[in-house]
Copies of this chain bind each other. A is one copy, B any other.
Amino acid sequence: MEVELQLAVENLLARYVHALDDGRLEEWPEFFVEEGRYRITTAENLERGLPLSIIYADSRAMLRDRVSALRHANIYEAQRYRHGVSSVLVERIDARTVRATSNFQVVRTMHTGEAILFASGRYLDRIRVDAASPRFEEKIVVLDSRAIDTLLAIPI
């Protein structure tokens, strides 16, 4: 077990979800390397090897476009999200890259006060760790459920 590495990955995940939960969407692309890949899919699609994605992006530029779309549609402001991330497993791939698997769940609270379990699943991440601040090379969000209840897919 590499103690520093484990905590550095947990710290990246913590900063990532706090940015989302605080509504600081503009910071979201900065958690990825320039050619970083982001995908939201379902466990069912992943198991069947289907390439279907709810969101797919393979650069920071695409992530920034997604943020613009969400801001333009005023989608993100109507509710609050709260992530819980746990059971983070870190595995070295090579000197500069690690694989991280973790569980997440997201609670959504509406303006009315009503709270629901919005999503649960796994993060399958490949993380560049050789720089001062680690970043995602690839982040795959695997939802347990088939569908999520939003008009426009949001970052998870």
Binding site for B on A (CB under 8 A): 1, 3-4, 6-8, 11, 13-15, 17-18, 21, 43, 80, 82-89, 101, 103, 105, 107, 109, 113-117, 120-122, 144-147
Name the B residues within 8 Å of A121 (CB-CB).
Answer: 82
Known contacts A87-B85, A145-B115, A107 near B105 by CB under 8 Å: yes
| Contact, CB under 8 Å: B1 / A11 | yes
8 examples of A-B residue contacts, CB within 8 angstroms: A3-B3, A82-B120, A82-B121, A85-B87, A109-B144, A115-B117, A115-B145, A116-B117
Q: How far is the CA of A114 from the CA of B120 in the complex (A)?
A: 11
Q: Measured between C-beta atoms, what is the minimum distance from A35 to chain B in Å?
A: 26
Beyond A1-B11, A113-B145, A115-B120, 14 additional pairs, beta carbon < 8 A: A1-B4, A3-B3, A6-B7, A6-B11, A15-B89, A17-B103, A82-B144, A83-B86, A83-B87, A85-B87, A105-B107, A107-B117, A107-B144, A115-B145
